[in-house]
Amino acid sequence: MTKYWMGGLLVATLSYGCTEGRPVKPPVAPMQQTSVSEPQLHSHSSGAVGEVIYQEYVLMQGTGASLATGKNFTTNVLFGEVRLLPGSLLHAKAGADYPTYCTAAKVYTRFVDDSPSDIACFADDDGDGWFDRVQVPSVKFGSWTDSEGPHYQLGAVDRHSQARQQLVYLGRTENSVKIGYRRIDENGDETASQTVEYALAAAGATEVGYRKLRMRIDAATNSEIRYEIVRGF
């Protein structure tokens, strides 16, 4: 087994064995998702102005597929195009009749749009390492379209999702602090942001909240904040 980095993704390439002349394929583990909090809840932490002081994202682990060549792959689906880059991750889909792998990020772009609008799934009908069909959930009620390729390889995947929610410390003004919130999607694009100002208690810790999140501020200056996240988003 060999390991290498590709597009920020750790992939362990699995070699195929052989039994009586027949290829032995590695086991396929559907992607498992685990929620991650940084820093961990109830830990005493500190951060500087402009830094992310708390974030939540998903850790994905399981079997993934990636392009076997270093070239882009494109295929048309109705009035748009699916484009896979060499570093694209496709994760195993649970419960599928055929080996099926779906992208985590949006890779389907309609010809009249400028940005990707949906994910894509690929199926390997005969398990020969080449995808035979492609599906875009929002197109033609999610029906499948024949596709010639691409050639792919399987590997064990341990990947942090791009999608996340974050808090950023924006500093202190007199007796109040400013904290920014932002939400980032799987493509790394910021989809929401807001700045909230909180009055500091005259003495002791200050309890503040944003949505379901609860944070205790122990001390804050124009350069640093010391705090504890009591409950996440």
Q: Of residues 9 and 152, which shows the higher confidence score?
A: 152
DSSP state of 97: S
Backbone angles phi, psi at 171, to 5 degrees: 110, 175
> What are the start-end ranges of the H helices in 152-201?
none
What token pair was written down for 165? 């929610």
Q: Of residues 162 and 193, which shows the higher confidence score?
A: 193
Residue 16 pLDDT: 37
pLDDT(1) > 70: no
User: What pLDDT band is residue 27 in, cutting at 50, 70 and 90?
Assistant: low
CA distances from 154 to 5, 65, 115 (A): 14, 5, 28
Q: Which of 28-37, 100-109, 207-216 has the lowest mean pLDDT?
A: 28-37
Query: For tokens 């995947």, what's the residue?
Result: 157
Q: Of residues 179 and 21, which shows the higher confidence score?
A: 179
Mean pLDDT of the chain: 85
pLDDT(15) > 70: no
DSSP state of 142: G
Q: CA-to-CA distance for 138 and 34, rounded, in angstroms?
A: 26
pLDDT (tens digit per residue) in 99-136: 889 998 889 999 998 889 999 999 998 888 899 999 99
* Local structure of 4: helix, strand or coil: strand
Q: CA-to-CA distance for 123 and 169, rounded, in angstroms?
A: 45
Q: CA-to-CA distance for 4 and 158, rounded, in angstroms?
A: 12
Residue 97 pLDDT: 78
What token pair was written down for 64? 């993934």
User: What pLDDT band is residue 62 in, cutting at 50, 70 and 90?
Assistant: confident
CA distances from 121 to 24, 124, 193, 195, 218 (A): 24, 10, 31, 37, 48
- The share of the chain scoring above pLDDT 70, in percent, equals 87
Query: For tokens 């039994």, what's the residue?
Result: 19
* DSSP-based helix, strand, coil % in the chain, nearest 5: 0, 60, 40
pLDDT(24) > 80: no
Q: CA-to-CA distance for 44 and 15, rounded, in angstroms?
A: 45
Q: What is the CA radius of gyration of the chain?
A: 22
